[in-house]
Structure 1
Amino acid sequence: MNLLSAENISKNYADRWLFKDLNFGLQQGQRVAFVGINGTGKTTLLRILAGLETPDTGLVSTRKGIRVTYLGQQPVFDESLSVEETIFASQNDTLKAIKEYEHVINDADHKADDLQRVLERMDALNAWDYEAQVQQILGRLGILGELLTRNVSKLSGGQRKRVALARVLIEEPDVLLLDEPTNHLDLSTIEWLENRLSSPTLTLLMVTHDRYFLDKVANEIVELDKGTMYRYQGNYAYFVEKKADREMREATEVEKARNLFRKELEWMRRMPQARGTKQKARIDAFYITKEKASTNLSKQQIELSVKTTRQGGKIIEADHLNKKFGDLTVLDDFSYVFKKKDRIGLVGPNGVGKSTLMNMLTGKLAPDSGTIDVGTNTVFGYYTQTELEFDPSQRVIDIVKEVAEVVELANGDVLTASQFLNLFLFPPAQQYTLVNKLSGGEKRRLQLLRVLIKNPNFLILDEPTNDLDLATLNILEDFLLHFAGCLLIVSHDRYFLDHLAEHLFVLEPGGAVLNFPGNYTDYRDYLEERETEAALEAEEKAAKAARAAAKRAPAPVAAPAPAALAKRRATFAEKKEYEQLEGILAQLETEKQAVTANLNGGSGTPQEFAAWGARLQAVEQALAQKEERWLELAELV
């Protein structure tokens, strides 16, 4: 039985049907990723399911007693409340007790009676396990200390998203509706969140462009395409494969319908009299065929092709850069000479200084010391996280003409602003609509267009994947892979980083910058190796200390059982070996059965029986060795 159901819902927006007569259900344990191109109505559908918008037709219902919570792209709060009041605004009795407990212990001047009262209340509600979960959520999202008492009106966009995420996770609803939950989160927080949302008991529907996150969390993908809903039981790779199969089948069916339509049209033009049952049925079938033959199979997609300004011998030379904000050091003695076709990923926790470094390179911010020498032919294209700024009276084409009236493509063609907008899926009818009528993803696409229209040769992209649909992301990735200039990318999308970045600048607290040769997955493997080595060193030190203590012991008395040493984690190489061993063991078992069958079959020459016997002995010996190694690695993995 569905926890949440939608029956025959339709929505018309700006004189255009987003979808009509959709039916949708969400059952316990379903974790569904909702995908589709920008402007198809994904966010609108989520808001309708959450009860925040009313469908033009149809009905949304929830099972009795089911709590549904919605996390939007732009969280809306009561601006008069503090962060703490916002997070604990639920009417849940346990949450109220935790809120009061947190308030008392964070008050340095609290009274003993107050502390005793809140402790007794926590005991009465058995709230301690829940409180520990709350602390973990707040800690992982960086909502601690002074931030809890700050007014939500003073929070940045990223802080607001983390506060909203903390609130929905702490409330523990029966159904979670999440719209781009990974936006504004750093990479380590995203990895923590995907592990938390992968619970088999969790029920959620999310809109996300993060393909690694989608693969880890979702067990089903639902696509909204031209107002129709398609469901796929599998991961992102399975979805891409089956979507291509579906489109191929549809193209074949439409082609057949068009051929049949041409034949039937000749018959209809002879004005048949629908006197007989067969003639009536044939006329009805004609109109059905006509509708099928009229299906529009054209796939709209962005065409990214712009001329790149020629780069000179010098691009950017950064020499001994330093930057502080008060007592906080965000950059400490950073130097780098940018080379042609550099493809660099910029990673690090939120607030560590990624935007500061990009703003210094582009001249928007001056370093405290050090020099930045930019080549005369270097043309920046800077795509920022800041939302597109516009006057409410501006139309889409006005936004582009502010930058340039014409743009030159890579093949030498020169297009007008209107023609270039058409390549970016803004048809002429939409070019004269008000910008505030666009969806979030369409505004980001328009912002990307404004950057590329300048023909840059040094692209700096700050979270370019936010709010863009998967189809646009794939096209953007392909364009950037063939981009002839330099790339500097900040992104929380690990798939995007892995495909585009060839080395990383890892910004660490204190201003240090590690120049790491590899992509993000390589960096994560490197960190795991370091953690394993540190654990082994700690284990060795503990063992040495134990041996030294034993030598100093005055007499050989029965020693207490030593404390268990911290379990060593598997290295990246050991994990790979473990995965390969499972396949090897299966192959050996299959071969053992085949050789045994030959020996028991009773047919064969003496030489064959000797060979089979020797091979069986070798296989059994290999099996024993491989099984022993597999068990060792299983303990670590």
Structure 2
Amino acid sequence: MCLLTEEENVTTLALPARDRAQLTCARVRVDRGGRTVLHDVETRVSPGSRWGVVGENGRGKSTLLHVLAGLLTPDEGTVHRVGALALAEQEMPAEDERTVGGFIDEYLADARTALRDLDAAAEALAAERPGAEQAYADALEAAQALDAWDADRRVDVALDGLGAVSDRTRPLATLSVGHRYRIRLACLLGAEHDFLLLDEPTNHLGLAGLEYLTARLRAHGGGVVVVSHDRALLADVATTILDLDPTRDGRPGVYGGGYAGYREGREAELVRWEEEYEQQQTEHVRLQQALSEAQNRLSTGWRPPKGTGRHQRATRAGALVRSVHRRQDDLDRHQVTAPVPPRRFSMPGLPARPGVVLLRAEEVTAGGRLHHSTSLSVTSGDRLAVTGPNGAGKSTLLSVLAGKLVPDTGRVHRAREVRLHLLGQESPRATHRRARDLYEAHTAHLVTAGVLEEGEVVGLGSLGLLTSRDAGKPVAELSMGQQRRLDLALALAARPHVLLLDEPTNHLSIALVDELTEALHSTDAAVVMATHDRQMRRDINGWPHLALAPRRQCKQGRTCPART
């Protein structure tokens, strides 16, 4: 999505402002559904600065991008924009009748218009029409500002770097979501905008594409605001981190020093917060004890020893009453700012079957994607990382192993009564059923089908993946990250012996990915994982690797027989 945001000089073309570009917001608040999604957010994005936006799922990261892009008016606060910006959202349209070329033309419309205007102005100049010299000068300035002559080449370079389809006659509807996403990203990178607003840009990229995107963002002369859970991208690109998770004062945290500065600063902030909370709790307990003691004296002090005069009894009673009231006031004034503890993921115990080959594949090929005969076997506790570039057949292999796809050649053997679950790359189509109801229906089916015993059922709340509030929402109202958390909960509900994971970190928060990684290292289940997440690949570098290769292409573009 490209947006004209030149507030100082409105024009028909979204001309870049270069050094004059500004993108700022101050005291931004956004309310949705009776809940404050964003509160007191401030940013100052300038040319050359690269902001990373982090926070748990549902904290308003995508909402902030919409505010910055002008697609959403905040309930409070101001946004100031000078320059042209482009927004890449997480989702892509399910149906699209355009071709790749038509899609590119729309993103390069300003460059196309600038060149047409320049040609028209040149004709007018040659015909010596009145005002032609100024019109030509204006058209030339616009074309130079957009570097319009080089726009298509820049997009072609980006298409190649991201591993996207470059055939401009190809209908978009024939391409996967990942390919369409890469084409859009290539258009944004090639359009020379002052500001790039990117929402989870690494979700559909292979390793080569990730490296290319990282290099392009680092070299971008304008400003970048990237919402991402990709820890490697944040470490390599971000100069400033905006953290939307709760803080002591309720305001978002801003950390300089890049991702390392954020991790260090956030940890120090949490330590200070916890220490302050402990001190407040201690003081609160002391005041409660003082109030209780005063109330006890009041209840036993109405009848002083015999011989005490009526005036003295009344005086003592009044003093005790005032003491109780004073301590009650002290307690009321002493507000405890309790830190909101982050949700902690709790992996349920997954069963082991020692001495049994749980899953074995013998010389399988499938689906026109898994071209090379592939074999593997796993037992309880095994770990296997499936690697290879896009198109090598990683997802296809996992689908074959899960029984969702029949192999063209070879066979797959699964142990009797083995429990096996595949967590796919994308969430199923969202329904209007509540997340909690969907989960409970799923576990009930597992019990009815004899997959689980009643005592093996894990409650949704015990997994620490969704809050009670989010579990009560229709799935269609959850963010993509929250839907992904539900997918993970459904996968673990079956208590599988074998867990097949296809890009499991997509849309998940940084904290949850760290916790999931730790759990995968220690579970008794067998784990087979395909991932392009660079930090995850570093974390599982010690696992055995199964490297898949794409089918070779001949120089003339025809598919060549695969080498063995």
* Shared fold per TM-score greater than 0.5: yes
Could you tell me which runs of 5 or more consecutive residues in structure 1 were left unpaired when the two chains were aligned: 100-120, 271-281, 513-637
State yes or no: 1:463 paired with 2:503. Answer: yes
- Confirm or deny: 8 A CA contact 1:343 1:500 kept in the other structure: no
Return the alpha-carbon distance in structure 1 between the equivalents of residues 178 and 228 of structure 2: 17
Deviations 1:561-614 (CA, angstroms, capped at 9, x unpaired): xxxxxxxxxxxxxxxxxxxxxxxxxxxxxxxxxxxxxxxxxxxxxxxxxxxxxx
Aligned residues between the structures = 466
After superposition, where does 1:456-605 map in structure 2 within 5 Å? Answer: 456-501=496-541, 502-510=543-551
Worse overlay, 128-137 or 246-255: 128-137
After superposition, where does 1:30-41 map in structure 2 within 5 Å? Answer: 30-41=49-60
Partner of 1:68: 85
- Confirm or deny: 8 A CA contact 2:28 2:75 kept in the other structure: yes
Q: Which amino acid aligns with 2:212?
A: W
Partner of 1:10: 29
- Confirm or deny: 8 A CA contact 1:29 1:203 kept in the other structure: yes
After superposition, where does 1:441-460 map in structure 2 within 5 Å? Answer: 441-460=481-500
Q: Which amino acid aligns with 1:454?
A: A
After superposition, where does 1:254-269 map in structure 2 within 5 Å? Answer: 254-260=277-283
Partner of 1:165: 185
Return the alpha-carbon distance in structure 2 between the equivalents of residues 93 and 48 of structure 1: 23
Partner of 2:362: 319
Residue in structure 1 matching 2:153, options 132, 135, 138? 132
Return the alpha-carbon distance in structure 1 between the equivalents of residues 528 and 203 of structure 2: 19
Task: From the superposition, tell whether residues 261 and 458 of structure 1 become closer, same or farther in structure 2 (CA, over 3 Å).
Answer: closer
Q: Over aligned residue pairs, what C-alpha RMSD do you find?
A: 3.4
Q: Which amino acid aligns with 1:228?
A: R
After superposition, where does 1:181-580 map in structure 2 within 5 Å? Answer: 181-199=201-219, 201-226=221-246, 228-260=251-283, 290-291=334-335, 293-323=336-366, 325=368, 330-392=370-432, 394-405=433-444, 414=455, 419-501=459-541, 502-510=543-551
Deviations 1:392-441 (CA, angstroms, capped at 9, x unpaired): 2x111121123214999xxx995766x43353243444433211121111
Percent identity between matched residues is: 29
Partner of 1:141: 162
Partner of 2:311: none
Q: Alpha-carbon deviation of 1:81?
A: 2.8
Deviations 1:521-578 (CA, angstroms, capped at 9, x unpaired): xxxxxxxxxxxxxxxxxxxxxxxxxxxxxxxxxxxxxxxxxxxxxxxxxxxxxxxxxx
Q: Alpha-carbon deviation of 1:145?
A: 5.0
Task: From the superposition, tell whether residues 247 and 397 of structure 1 become closer, same or farther in structure 2 (CA, over 3 Å).
Answer: same
Return the alpha-carbon distance in structure 2 between the equivalents of residues 89 and 230 of structure 1: 37
- Confirm or deny: 8 A CA contact 1:318 1:373 kept in the other structure: yes
Task: From the superposition, tell whether residues 299 and 357 of structure 1 become closer, same or farther in structure 2 (CA, over 3 Å).
Answer: closer
Return the alpha-carbon distance in structure 1 between the equivalents of residues 444 and 334 of structure 2: 43
Task: From the superposition, tell whether residues 474 and 67 of structure 1 become closer, same or farther in structure 2 (CA, over 3 Å).
Answer: same
Partner of 1:546: none
Q: Alpha-carbon deviation of 1:2?
A: 7.6
Q: Alpha-carbon deviation of 1:135?
A: 2.0
Q: Alpha-carbon deviation of 1:236?
A: 3.2
What TM-score does the superposition give when structure 1 sets the normalisation length?
A: 0.66
Q: Which amino acid aligns with 1:506?
A: A
Return the alpha-carbon distance in structure 2 between the equivalents of residues 438 and 370 of structure 1: 41
State yes or no: 1:178 paired with 2:178. Answer: no
What TM-score does the superposition give when structure 2 sets the normalisation length?
A: 0.74
Return the alpha-carbon distance in structure 2 between the equivalents of residues 155 and 166 of structure 1: 15
Task: From the superposition, tell whether residues 97 and 441 of structure 1 become closer, same or farther in structure 2 (CA, over 3 Å).
Answer: same
Return the alpha-carbon distance in structure 1 between the equivalents of residues 424 and 229 of structure 2: 18
After superposition, where does 1:73-92 map in structure 2 within 5 Å? Answer: 73-76=90-93, 79-90=96-107
Return the alpha-carbon distance in structure 2 between the equivalents of residues 78 and 294 of structure 1: 49
Return the alpha-carbon distance in structure 2 between the equivalents of residues 505 and 355 of structure 1: 13
Task: From the superposition, tell whether residues 311 and 18 of structure 1 become closer, same or farther in structure 2 (CA, over 3 Å).
Answer: farther
- Confirm or deny: 8 A CA contact 1:422 1:428 kept in the other structure: no
Partner secondary structure for residue 322 of structure 1: strand
Task: From the superposition, tell whether residues 135 and 511 of structure 1 become closer, same or farther in structure 2 (CA, over 3 Å).
Answer: closer
Worse overlay, 184-193 or 299-308: 299-308
Could you tell me which runs of 5 or more consecutive residues in structure 2 were left unpaired when the two chains were aligned: 1-19, 117-139, 296-325, 448-452, 554-564
Task: From the superposition, tell whether residues 488 and 81 of structure 1 become closer, same or farther in structure 2 (CA, over 3 Å).
Answer: same
Return the alpha-carbon distance in structure 2 between the equivalents of residues 250 and 97 of structure 1: 55
- Confirm or deny: 8 A CA contact 2:200 2:229 kept in the other structure: yes
Task: From the superposition, tell whether residues 48 and 367 of structure 1 become closer, same or farther in structure 2 (CA, over 3 Å).
Answer: same
